[in-house]
């Protein structure tokens, strides 16, 4: 399978394509490709029995497609753990290089890497790492925007967008940080939070992309 096809399969899975149909617009936006290119690629993926595609409805992964997507995600997230914990990468650096490594590392190497790292359950951004047999944890989370003023929780996941990850690291926001919402700004203004006892302001957009325990 080409890297381009693998990217499609992985993103369809991340969008929920294991359980429901994902429309072409969602895929076009997440991969930043033209709608016509998406339609063409989905036709190819269907011929290889990786998806079931219905025009005007969307695409859903087959069992074969799910296996391929889970394998890619497992490798990607294990590489992120290794790059950050062992080589001192930043969140965004690890994400970028894991995108390359996930396509070239053989299954034997990923198995050894998982064992070397002690079978981690989550990547440094808080995403669950699938096991070799496809099992994956699905914790119940909500965004900081869904919290109430005065509510406290613990940060468990951040969206993997480079600008966001760099912004959060500048604010010293980490997975496992204790966060309390103090005030929501008017008209989508900044959210005032207390992070591990220190008051900070988080943009409204970023607050919707940082997830906490429910």
- Domain spanning 141-213: which CATH class is it, in words? mainly beta
Please tell me the predicted confidence (pLDDT) of residue 94: 96
Which whole number is the average pLDDT over 41-47? 94
DSSP assignment of 42-77: HHHHHHTTSEEEETTTEEEE-HHHHHHHHHHHHHHH
The DSSP output letter for 190 is: P
The predicted structure's pLDDT at residue 113: 97
Does the pLDDT value for residue 190 go beyond 90?
A: yes
Enter the pTM of the model: 0.87
Q: Decide if 3-61 and 141-213 have a common fold.
A: no
**Average pLDDT of span 177-204:** 92
- As a whole number, the mean pLDDT across the chain is 93
pLDDT at 206: 94
Question: Residue 197: pLDDT band by 50, 70, 90 thresholds?
Answer: confident
For the chain, domain boundaries: 3-61, 141-213
Q: Are 82 and 105 in contact (CB under 8 A)?
A: no
- For residue range 99-158, what is the model confidence (pLDDT) as tens digits? 999 999 999 999 999 999 999 999 999 999 998 888 888 889 999 999 999 999 999 999
Write down the CATH number for the domain with range 3-61: 1.10.10.10
Distances (CA, A) of 60 to 42, 57, 78, 110, 167: 10, 10, 25, 26, 34
Q: For residue 129, what pLDDT is reported?
A: 94
Mean pLDDT of 4-13: 94
Q: At what angle do helices 35-47 and 24-31 cross, to 10 degrees?
A: 110
User: What pLDDT is stored for residue 183 in this prediction?
Assistant: 94
Q: Please report which helix (H) or strand (E) contains residue 193, including its range.
A: strand 191-195
Phi, psi torsion values for 193, nearest 5 degrees: -125, 160
Ramachandran angles phi, psi of 172, nearest 5°:
60, 40
Burial of 200 (0-12, 13-18, 19+ CB in 10 A): middle
Q: Are 181 and 151 in contact (CB under 8 A)?
A: yes
* pLDDT interval class at 187 (50, 70, 90): confident
Kindly give the residue spans of alpha helices, DSSP state H, lying in the chain: 3-14, 24-31, 35-47, 63-87, 91-101, 107-116, 162-170, 204-207
pLDDT for 139 equals 86
């Amino acid at each position: 399978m080409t890297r381009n096809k693998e990217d499609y399969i992985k993103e369809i899975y991340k969008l929920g394509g294991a359980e429901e149909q994902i429309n072409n617009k969602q895929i076009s936006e997440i991969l930043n490709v033209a709608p016509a290119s998406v339609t063409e690629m989905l036709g190819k993926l269907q011929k290889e029995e990786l998806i079931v595609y219905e025009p005007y409805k969307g695409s859903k992964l087959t069992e074969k497609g799910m296996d391929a997507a889970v394998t890619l995600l497992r490798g990607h997230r294990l590489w992120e753990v290794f790059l950050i914990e062992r080589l001192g990468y930043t969140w965004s650096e690890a994400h970028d290089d894991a995108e390359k490594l996930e396509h070239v590392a053989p299954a034997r190497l990923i198995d050894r890497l998982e064992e070397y790292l002690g079978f981690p359950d989550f990547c440094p951004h808080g995403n669950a790492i699938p096991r070799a047999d496809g099992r994956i944890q699905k914790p119940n989370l909500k965004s900081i925007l869904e919290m109430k003023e005065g509510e406290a929780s613990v940060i468990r996941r951040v969206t993997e967008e480079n600008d966001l990850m760099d912004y959060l690291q500048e604010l010293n926001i980490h997975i496992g940080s204790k966060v309390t919402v103090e005030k929501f700004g008017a008209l989508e203004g900044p959210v005032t939070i207390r992070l591990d006892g220190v008051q900070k302001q988080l943009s409204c957009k970023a607050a919707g992309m940082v997830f906490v325990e429910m």
